[in-house]
Amino acid sequence: MSDVPKKPNLPKRANLPNGPNEPDGPIQDKKNGKGKSTVTKAHPKSPSKRTTIPRHIIEILGWDTGDVLSWEIEKRGDKYFVVIRRLE
């Protein structure tokens, strides 16, 4: 038996809310569009923090273990937003 993990069965983009024939904007399906996680210490002696990206969000984005992400902060009015992109 191989030690290589199986790739998850990811949904096809067309089957997701806001697919190719839907307008851009927030995903409307409550199950697939929202999630929450808790920020924890990355290591007891490190100032860094970590969190888990909810599974359904990973499936929507088509991300997998080992993907490299870029992080950007945008300010809109008095709020900050984090934009995370998978690098190709």
Residue-by-residue DSSP string for 7-55 = PP-PPPGGGSTT-TTS-SSS---HHHH------EESSTT-S-EE----H
Q: pLDDT tens, position by position, for the chain (88 residues)?
A: 455 555 545 444 445 555 566 667 766 555 555 778 899 999 999 999 999 998 888 888 899 999 999 999 999 999 999 999 999 8
The pLDDT value given to residue 56 = 85
The pLDDT value given to residue 85 = 94
Q: What is the dihedral of CA 1, 61, 39, 45, to 10 degrees?
A: 60
DSSP state for residue 67 in the 8-state scheme = -
Domain coordinates in residue numbering, the chain: 41-88
Total-model pTM: 0.58
